[in-house]
Amino acid sequence: MGTPYYIPETNIPLPPVNADIITTACDYCIVACGYKVYRWPLKGGAQGGPNADENAFGVDFPVDPLGAWVAPNQYNVVSHNNEPHHIIVVPDKDTSVVNTNGDSSVRGGAIAQKVYNPQTPTRDRLKSPMIRMFGTLMPVSWDFALDIAAEVGSHVIKKHGANAYAMKMFSYGFMENTYAVSKFALRHISTANFTFHDTPSDVTSTPGFRDAGFDNFGPSYQDWHDADTLMICGTDPYETKTILFTQWIMPAIQNGQKTIFLGPRRTAGIAYAEQNGGLWIDLQPGTDLPVVSAIARVIVENGWEDKEWIKKWVNNKFESSSGFGQGTRNTPWQWRTTWGKFHTKDYDDWKKWLLAQDFSDPQTAADIAQIDVQKSTLPLSG
Amino acid sequence: MTINKGLIEAINGPADIRKTSKKCVVNRRTFLLTSGIATATVMVAMHTSEGLAKVPALVATYPRKLIGKLSELKVDEPLDFYYPDEGAYSDSMIVKLGKQAGGGIGPDKDVVAFNYICTHQGGPLHGTYKPDDKALGPCPLHLTTFDLTRHGMFISGQAYQSLPQVLLELEGDDIYAVGMFGLIYGRYDNLKG
């Protein structure tokens, strides 16, 4: 039975030398940290010992700092081949990329807790389709549920047309899922009412950025580390992409990276940056746009932009129009209907537009965001 | 199977406390009682016998160690000690928080003790006590911070578990460490290393 009241455990079983070892990746955020699962059967009662030659980690207990310690939250019992098995899910100490040396967030660090075990709160998991009958949700077979879904779908398409069949999917899931769902929506249903991830229709979430010729997934983790100045808007990666922060950005801050945060809350990553020479612009929620525009305006008014880089890497008008497969240019009909209709023609036209906006005036932007306009002009210390 | 009302009370707290929002701050008596009953419950499930003594078995196996005097503790001034042994990662601290805390002893229920090693990757939390927040941290390795008023639950960070709490007993003016909640970093068993 599950413990009805939380009593913290004070020991864990160690994996024996012959435990199965499976490498995997964390499924919480897109940082994709490496993990290892240690699995061995309850049957037989085998357990590892505290000496290096007695456990699957090959280390002596107690382990060193940064070592192969197993927190009770990283242990569970699961059914594998219809037999109960111990599992331990821990960050992979052998990683040389991403979560180097086996660092992990609290989310990834507790993956073992969400693995299905009917003796834990995971018993609440949805295990079959549910259909509301006589006012009550009842579990039904997949065949029954799919028959109903197909009938309803056919009816909607016949009566209202394919675009009445809307589909929303997640795009960071397994490639097999992404491929199958996309093909079903775009080829078989042929609906334009289809989108993925965080967008309301089949467009990018960063259209201007993409149209200017940049890929918003361009930077490598090394780039986050190597940047001299890093501006982070509306998020604290310590909380949202923890390993990107603690393995890549935090060491950079220690080495003098100027880190600027725009955000309403002084979260732990922001507090750390502030104490180590960074800057926190404590704006009101939703006012990033005028603040970023004002910063850009100060840069271009002073001619501080990297002219060479802009010339080489930023799209001109023809490049924006002819670009395909990015942003608002994902499908042939989008490509045709958006040709030449971008907000600005090129960098110089964008600059003219920026200087004409009243909200890009630093004092106006500061008033909107309720921040001290002088704060942004203070030299960064440290 | 009928549900034991005493058990429900032990899980959710006495009826008058249940109405307040302080569910996560149990007093020492409640949590010792609860750990005793919950332990007994597991046994009941296995042996289907009743009437097991409400002795907190989890606590009984630890050494009882004198660590200081209540009258000598000053608010927000932690004192260091070793527990449950003097081996690796036994560094612990006791502090009078000046604010009621989960598991707190003394007339103000504000004296608590914790292990010093971060339950993420073993960073040292020595010297990181923050009087304003009654917290330990941030850890120098990855910045986890722990709330000492709530059984060492983390406030922000990466730790896999709450900070292990050293269970205390007061006898006159003497404070004894008598057990632990949670596994100490680096060990696979608190009592075996």
Q: Does A71 touch chain B (CB under 8 A)?
A: yes
CATH 3.40.228.10 in chain A: give the residue spans: 207-377
Please answer yes or no on whether B193 and A61 come within 8 Å at the CB atom: yes
Q: Do B192 and A73 touch (CB under 8 A)?
A: no
Nearest to B122 among A11, A50, A66 (CB): A66
Give domain A207-377's CATH architecture.
3-Layer(aba) Sandwich (3.40)
Complex confidence, ipTM: 0.84
pLDDT of residue A152: 96
pLDDT at B46 over 70: no
A266 touches B: beta carbon within 8 Å: no
Residue A353 phi, psi (nearest 5): -65, -45
Cis amide linkage into residue A139, ω under 30° from 0: no
Closest CA to A184 of A122, B127, A176, B166: A176
CA–CA–CA angle A16, B85, B100 (5° rounding): 105
| A62, A110, A269 ranked by CB distance to B186: nearest | A62
Per the model's pLDDT, the better-predicted residue between B144 and A101 turns out to be B144
Higher-scoring residue by pLDDT: A104, A6? A104
CATH for the stretch A20-118: 2.60.40.4210
Mean pLDDT across A204-229: 85
The structural domains of chain B, ordered by start, are 5-58 (no CATH), 62-181 (2.102.10.10)
- Whether A69 sits inside 8 A of B161 (CB atoms) is no
Quick check: A280 pLDDT over 90?
yes
Percent of chain A scoring above 90 in pLDDT: 71
Q: Which pLDDT belongs to residue B160?
A: 95
Per-residue pLDDT for A376 more than 70?
no
Contact B143 A50 (CB under 8 A): no
Which pLDDT score, from 0 to 100, does residue A337 have? 83
Rounded to the nearest 10 degrees, how much is the dihedral formed by the CA atoms of A106, A112, A114, A118?
A: -150
* Interchain CB distance below 8 Å, B45 and A1: yes
**In the prediction, which pLDDT does B52 show?**
40
pLDDT surpassing 70 at residue A203 = yes
Task: State yes or no: is B126 an active-site residue.
Answer: no
pLDDT of res. A33 = 94
Both tokens of B7, joined, read 């058990």
Rounded to an integer, the average pLDDT of A303-320 is: 91
Tokens standing for residue A78: 């699961």
- pLDDT of A11: 93
Q: Report whether A70 contacts A60 (CB < 8 A).
A: no
pLDDT, position B33: 43
Shortest Cα distance, chain A CAs vs residue B123, angstroms:
7
For A89, the token pair is 């899910």
CB A138 within 8 A of CB A131: yes
Question: In whole angstroms, what is the distance from residue B75 CA to residue A184 CA?
Answer: 66
| A302 contact partners, CB below 8 Å, separation of at least 6 | none
Mean pLDDT of chain A: 90
Which residues of chain A are within 8 Å of residue B159 when distances are taken between CB atoms? 106, 109
Q: A3 vs B38: CB contact, 8 Å cut-off?
A: yes
What is the mean predicted confidence (pLDDT) over A6-26? 93
Nearest residue on chain B to A72, judged by CA atoms?
A: B183
Instruction: Pick B188's closest partner by Cβ from A5, A8, A70.
Output: A70
What's the first-to-final CA gap in chain B, in angstroms?
Answer: 40
- What's the token pair of residue A258? 């100027």
> Does B143 contact A239 at a Cβ distance shorter than 8 Å?
no
A321-339 tens-digit pLDDT = 887 656 566 667 777 888 8
pLDDT for A204 equals 72
Strand A194-196 to strand A167-169: parallel, antiparallel, or no bridges (unpaired)? parallel
Q: Closest to A7 (Cβ–Cβ): which among B35, B119, B157?
A: B35
Question: What is the arithmetic mean of pLDDT over A107-119?
Answer: 94
Respond yes or no: is residue B151 known to be catalytic: no
pLDDT band at B61 (very low <50, low <70, confident <90, very high): confident
Q: Do B160 and A73 count as a contact with CB atoms less than 8 A apart?
A: yes
Smallest CA–CA distance from A89 into chain B, residue: B160
Region of A224 on the Ramachandran plot (φ > 0 left; ψ -120 to 50 alpha; else beta): alpha
Residues of chain A with CATH 2.60.40.4210: 20-118
- Using a CB–CB cutoff of 8 Å, tell me whether A246 touches chain B: yes
Give the pLDDT confidence score for residue B47 in this predicted structure.
39
- Chain B CB contacts of A9 under 8 Å are 182-183
- Which of B158, B180, B185 to mutate: most A Cβ within 10 Å? B158
Residue A363 CB-half CA count within 13 A: 0
pLDDT score at B20 = 44
Q: Which residues from A are below 8 Å from B10, CB to CB?
A: 5
Contact at CB, B161 and A8, closer than 8 angstroms: yes
Cβ-defined contacts of A29-32 (< 8 Å, 24+): A29/A105, A29/A107, A29/A240, A29/A241, A30/A172, A30/A241, A31/A98, A31/A99, A31/A241, A31/A242, A31/A243, A31/A244, A32/A98
Q: What is the mean pLDDT of residues A353-366?
A: 95
Chain A residues with beta carbon closer than 8 angstroms to that of B187: 61-62, 69
Handedness of CA B155, B159, B161, B167 (dihedral sign): negative
CB contacts < 8 A, A to B, total: 127
Q: Name the β-bridge partners of A76.
A: A87
Find the range with the poorest average confidence among A302-311, B35-44, B62-71, B161-170: B35-44
How far is residue A36's CA from residue A20's CA, in Å, rounded to a whole number?
10
Q: What is the 3-state secondary structure (H, E, C) of chain B?
A: CCCCHHHHHHHHCCHHHHCCCCCCCCCHHHHHHHHHHHHHHHHHHHHCCCCCCCCCHHHHCCCCEEEEEHHHCCECCCEEEECCCCCCCCEEEEEECCCCCCCCECCCCCEEEEECECCCCCCECCCCEECCCCEECCCCCCCCEEECCCCCEEEECCCCCCCCEEEEEEECCEEEEEEEECCCCCCCECCCC
Over residues A158-197, the pLDDT tens digits come to 999 999 999 998 877 677 888 999 899 999 999 989 988 8
**Which of B166, B183, B191 to substitute to test the interface with A, most A CBs within 10 Å?**
B183
pLDDT score for B54: 43
For B122, the closest of A10, A65, A74 (CB atoms) is A65
DSSP state of A283: P
Q: A9 to chain B nearest CA, in Å?
A: 5
Residue B2: the pLDDT is: 56
pLDDT at A378: 55
Candidates A209, A206, A205, A183; CA nearest to A194 is: A183
3-state DSSP call for residue A226?
A: helix
Query: A110 in contact with B at a CB cutoff of 8 Å?
Result: yes
Residues of chain A contacting B125 with CB distance shorter than 8 Å = none
**pLDDT value at residue A326:** 60
Nearest CA in chain B to A7: B35
Q: Scan residues 30-69 of A and list those with Cβ closer than 8 Å to B.
A: 50, 61-67, 69
Q: For residue B93, what pLDDT is reported?
A: 98
Least CA distance to B62: which residue of chain A? Answer: A10
Predicted confidence at residue B7, as pLDDT, reads: 52
A105–B158 CB contact, under 8 Å: yes
